[in-house]
Amino acid sequence: MKGNARYTTGNIDTNDAFKNTAAGLKHGQNPYAVILSCADSRVSPELCFDEGPGDLFVTRIAGNYVTVDILGSIEYGTYVLKSPIVMVLGHTECGAVKAAIKAEEENASFPGHIQSIASNLSNAVRIGKQKGGNQTTEVVKANIRLNVAYLQQSTPIIRQLVQDKKVKIVGGIYDLDNGTVTIVS
């Protein structure tokens, strides 16, 4: 969160430059956080937390939801690399969420595998739409919370790490207006 404050104020840390970290990172990595981010080009975890190579273990998928293969990466980041924190990172104006809302409201379908994104977000749409306010933002928040809750129980490895308080799973929403990440779960 301190890094996000540096990012939004333009006060970025230049110590993370490649030339400063490459030698140390050649033999291993020790990322302090695992991030499950949307693939959206407007949201970059390393940039928005003002971090550099070796700091974040990032998985990305449009709609930032958990899949079997994503679980493998998150288990690797937490169990093997011992990152103590996992953040599910959604964002305002998410196109994947908007598509899922459209699929629900207009029975829209999308070409090829794009449909599977909308289908995977349908629970979040149902929950988020029950709230007032900005529909897209509410569904984004619902999707973040669903995936945080799911991750906490998802696999024996991650469940045990959470129970032993070796890993904390949180959810954040990135605001495209101002670059701020706010904890929502």
Contacts of 164 (CB under 8 A, 6+ apart): none
51 is a contact residue toward Zn ion (CB under 5 A): no
Min dist. Cβ of residue 154 to Zn ion (A)? 21
158 is a contact residue toward Zn ion (CB under 5 A): no
Nearer to Zn ion, 16 or 46 (CB): 46
Residue 51, classed as helix, strand or coil, is: coil
Total site size for Zn ion, rule CB under 5 A: 4
Query: How far is residue 109 from each of residues 60, 63, 120, measured CA to CA in Å?
Result: 23, 16, 13
Nearer to Zn ion, 96 or 146 (CB): 96
Task: Give me the torsion for CA of 77, 82, 83, 89, rounded to 10°.
Answer: 30
Binding mask 114-153 for Zn ion (x = CB under 5 A): ----------------------------------------
Give the pair of three-digit tokens for residue 43: 């949201």
Nearer to Zn ion, 88 or 167 (CB): 88
Footprint on residues 84-103 left by Zn ion (CB under 5 A): 94, 96
Beta strands in 44-154 (DSSP E): 56-60, 85-91
Give the pair of three-digit tokens for residue 53: 């190579």
40 is a contact residue toward Zn ion (CB under 5 A): yes
Min dist. Cβ of residue 88 to Zn ion (A)? 12
- Single out the segment in contact with Zn ion by CB under 5 A; choices: 13-21, 34-42, 71-79, 150-158: 34-42
Min dist. Cβ of residue 109 to Zn ion (A)? 19
Min dist. Cβ of residue 133 to Zn ion (A)? 18
Residue 174, H or E segment: strand 168-174
Cα–Cα nearest to 48, from 94, 14, 5: 5
Min dist. Cβ of residue 52 to Zn ion (A)? 24
Determine how β-strand 181-183 pairs with β-strand 168-174: antiparallel
Residues interacting with Zn ion, by CB under 5 A? 38, 40, 94, 96
